[in-house]
Amino acid sequence: MTEINEPKEASLEKNSVAEPSPKAKPKVISLRKLKRGQSAIINSISAEGEMGRRIRDMGLIPGVHVKCMGHAPLKDPMAMRLMGFTLTLRNNEADYITVTA
Amino acid sequence: MSSDTVSVIAIAGNPNSGKTTAFNRYTGARQHVGNYPGITVEKKGGTAHIDGKEVTLVDLPGTYSLTAYSMEEVVARRVLAEDRPGAVIDVINAGVLDRNLYLSVQMMEMGIPLVLTLNMMDEAEAEGLNINIKRLEELTGLKCFPAVARKGEGLDDSLRAALALAEETHGRTNPLEISYGTDLDNSLLDMTPIVENAKLLTDMYPSRWVALKFLEGDKEIIHRATMANKEASDKLIALTDKVTKHLKDTLNTYPEAVIADYRYGWISSLLRNGVLEIKDDVLERTATSDKVDAVLTHRFVGPLILIGILYLMYYITIEVGNIPLGWTQTFFDWLHDLAGDSIQSAALRSLVTDGVISGVGSVLGFVPLIIIMFFLISILEDSGYMARVAYMMDRIFRIFGLHGASIMPFIISGGIAGGCAVPGVMATRTLRSPRERLATILTVPFMMCGAKIPVFLLFTSIFFKQNQAFIMFSFTLLGWVAALLVARLLRSTLIRGQATPFVMELPPYRLPLLSGVLIHTWERAWQYIKKAGTVILGISILIWAAMTYPGLPESYHQNIDSQLALMAENTAGLPEDAHNLISTNLENSESSQALRMSYAGRLGTFIEPLTKGAGFNWQTNIALIGGVAAKEVVISTLGTAYSLGAVDPDDSSSLQQRIEADPSWTMANSMALLLFTLLYSPCFVTLVVIKQESGKWRWLFFSLFFNLTLALVVATIANQVLSA
């Protein structure tokens, strides 16, 4: 079995169709703040315990590209695209995650 | 390990990876569903045939990971470690390789022999993904097969490879050892020998893996290790604490997070190493699904369509379900009469007709509803729409400690008046969050089910003639209010605990496979008949006995007989009509007396002081006790208690006149009765299904007694306030 260990960059840059932001400076914001259609890279995850585990199990780890797909009709939960699938999470769960947008 | 483990192959994979489709393809109808003892996770097994060999297949619950947070994960891990299938077919959604391989990596860490089945290859290719299977095999050391489970492509190859692997490895292979960074690698170097020397769970798991679970803070493994060897476990915990503190101080993180990052890191470097290539010309993947979502989850249109679909679900389940329900009823009425005519002994006749046949009838009467409901729900689930329902409704239901997916059981139970709590409780299967699911199970019986409606029709037609429709509507709403408030109460008391993380996948829309939907539907209906059926039959005989025995004393019969004889003499000159009328009256008063003297009747009379506050007399009490058998029975029993003979719930005009003329019935206590009927104990079929779905008897008794108490308190208050 081949040993592969390059954990520096956490994930493949799939979905890297992120349109270049008109504002040049990338800022770190809460995942919740992403607008529909806006792409970002996950910066940090502060959730621990069950929540932290569930979030990571679904592939939300630093370095991953996400794109906001919008919000439910009552503005919560939110939906986003990452790694080729769509994930939803509640706004208060998204608060554990910061992204660079 | 016994030698037959070689031919046991487990199927693992993420939810929405097509794992169940693959399993259905392998086994066809040759599968059986049960529950793992004490929990409600489904245990699915079956047999497949390949190259003349019979293979036993185990379908593991779909999981994203093998940690021990959800019941599904605990079960999957236990089966892998303790039942030791010869090899595992890991079904992977080829379109979402990274996340699906996260589960594979964890199984490889456990030393489980794997075959990777890359499912939905056609879609992945259409989406512009180019997967180099050979390269993936080289880098993982595993056999990998492209597959399209819906069409059955690639499945035989996987199964053959899994069988060969099972014969070669007998369920254990060298565990994958990857690096989790210098800090954790060093800790593992210190910890692994401790695990080895103490032989800590090493009969089931690789020693480095056990150490890794200590670092991850895996409660289940730590607990079991501590039970086995406290000293060694304490050493491991101390080492874990040390590195945890170090990581916190230096990197502000913790071992579990680091381990997850490195696993994903391993996967992404593997994929970048020539396995996965994304063609540039395909910009937006799953584009069709997104377009559908733009409409179906649209801010305004989405909820409207949702209401429409929920109404359609309800309409088809209940309205269309009532057609076969009518047939079963006609059939059992016919059987009832047939048996009634052909059995001589009165006691035996009553047992067979009112006990057994009515009991079997009430078990099977629900089967059409359950079949239709699960057929529709399977379609909604397999198409991907159910996840959208949860997504859209979650904001509202979360307030009450429930989950967006709770709406479906509520609607089916009578969220639109006229549902049924039996399929409603069973519909909670779609909820994957255990606390939210239990709270839903326990509160759906408050809804306005179809069997409560005759009681409402009767009393509103007497006391609320002017605004009958409005009252009916208000009570349907009241059912919602009661259910949601009780859910809130339960979630902050008995089923307390943080909301289960919502984090949920919205799978792309797909056309459901008819075979899958049918298998799923049949499994559920059969489970209901087999498991709930026997219990329901037993209880219905018990209820029959309580309403029949001990019967009237011999002297009473003699009295009636002599009255009849006397009447025959005195009425000799009267027309036959009058004659019949009098004898019917006598018979009715006899059955009324018999009911009063029965155990249920005595109980009804005995508790009269308790229900006085609510304004219920013994007749009402007996009727309500009978209503635990089925809510329709309230009307017919009330008829018997009022010496009217058994009243048909669908035509209760004789009872209506009787109650109108009775001064003991007022607006206040009839309102109390309606409130009581809405809220009190679910019928026992629902109770049995609650036990079956929650896995615990205690929730059956809770529903019985809590709902009774709640109903009595509310009814008493209503009666007192309204009659004041």
What CATH code is carried by the domain that includes residue B40? Answer: 3.40.50.300
C-alpha B402/C-alpha A17 separation (Å) is 37
Under 8 Å between Cβ of B626 and B633: yes
B536 and B638 together in one domain: yes
Domain match, B546 and B654 both: yes
User: Are A5 and B392 an interchain contact pair (Cβ–Cβ within 8 Å)?
Assistant: no
Distance of CA B498 to the CA centre of its chain: 21
- Locate A48 and state its tokens: 């621990």
pLDDT at B529: 85
Sheet holding B504-506: strands in order across? A28-30, A97-100, A39-45, A65-71, A78-82, A85-89, B504-506
Distance from CA of A24 to the nearest CA of B (A): 23
- CA dist., res. B105 & res. B75, Å (int): 18
Is residue A29 less than 8 Å (CB to CB) from chain B? Answer: no
Task: Tell me the chain A residues in contact with residue B396 when contact means C-beta distances shorter than 8 Å.
Answer: 74
For residues B354 and B488, state if they share a domain.
yes
pLDDT of res. B285:
55
Q: Distance between CA B515 and CA B27 in Å, rounded?
A: 12
Is the pLDDT at A5 greater than 70? The verdict is: no
Chain A, window 79-98: residues with a beta carbon less than 8 angstroms from a chain B beta carbon: 79, 83-90, 93
Domain count within chain B: 4
Instruction: Let me know: does B521 contact B335? Beta carbons within 8 Å.
Output: no
Which residues 166-195 in chain B show a CB within 8 A of chain A? Answer: 174, 176, 178-179, 181
- B259 CB-contact burial (10 Å; exposed 0-12 / middle 13-18 / buried 19+): buried
* Cβ-nearest to A59 among B102, B265, B270: B102
CB–CB contact B391 A12 (8 Å): no
Does pLDDT of A19 surpass 70? Answer: no
Position B519 in a domain? no
Has residue A17 got a pLDDT over 90?
Answer: no
User: Is A2–B141 a contact, with Cβ atoms under 8 angstroms apart?
Assistant: yes
> How many helices (H) and strands (E) are present in chain B, helices listed first?
35, 10
Say whether both B163 and B187 belong to one domain. no
The neighbour count for residue A38, using CB atoms within 10 Å, is 17
Same domain, B223 and B329: no
Task: Kindly report the average pLDDT of chain A as a whole number.
Answer: 82
Full residue range of the structural domain in which residue B355 is found: 301-441+477-500
Question: Does A50 have pLDDT greater than 80?
Answer: yes
Residues B319, B372: contact at Cβ < 8 Å?
Answer: no
Q: Do B395 and A83 make contact, defined as CB atoms within 8 angstroms? A: no
Check if A76 contacts B (Cβ < 8 Å): yes
Residue A61 Cα distances to A33, A37, A77, angstroms: 18, 20, 19
Q: Cα(B642)–Cα(B473) distance, rounded to whole angstroms?
A: 29
- Is there a contact between B181 and A53 if contact means CB atoms under 8 Å apart? no
The amino acid at residue B184 is L
Q: Is residue B509 part of a domain?
A: no
pLDDT at residue B282 in the model: 54
Q: Which residues of B touch A76 (CB under 8 A)?
A: 394-395
- In this predicted model, which residue has the larger pLDDT, B202 or A9? B202
Q: Residue B322 CB: number of other CB atoms within 10 A?
A: 16
Burial (CB < 10 A; 0-12, 13-18, 19+), residue B378, is buried
Calculate helix-pair angle for B684-694, B533-548, nearest 10 degrees.
Answer: 150
Residue A1: the pLDDT is 43
Chain B residue closest to A77 (CA)?
Answer: B391
Which parts of chain B sit beneath pLDDT 50?
1-6
Among B226, B184, B221, residue whose Cα is nearest residue B206: B221
A74 and A81 in contact (C-beta within 8 Å)?
Answer: no
pLDDT value of residue B365:
80
Same domain, B188 and B162: no
CATH superfamily to which A28-100 belongs: Ferrous iron transport protein A (FeoA) (2.30.30.90)
Q: Is the peptide bond before A62 cis (omega within 30 degrees of 0)?
A: no
Cα end-to-end span (Å), chain A: 38
> Do B224 and B367 belong together in one domain?
no
How many beta carbons lie within 10 A of that of residue B58, not counting itself?
A: 20
Q: Is residue B177 part of a domain?
A: no
Is some CB atom of chain B closer than 8 A to the CB atom of A50? yes
Tell me the C-alpha distance between A9 and A7, whole Å.
6
pLDDT given at position B467:
84
CB atoms within 10 A of CB B521: 20
Check CB contact under 8 Å for A61 and B99. no
Across the interface, of B97, B303, B499, the residue whose CB is closest to A73 is B303
Same domain, B541 and B688: yes
Contact B209, B150 (CB under 8 A): no
* Interchain CB contact of A19 with B (< 8 Å): no
Yes or no: say if B1 and B166 are a contact pair by the CB < 8 Å rule: no
What is the ipTM, given to two decimal places? 0.82
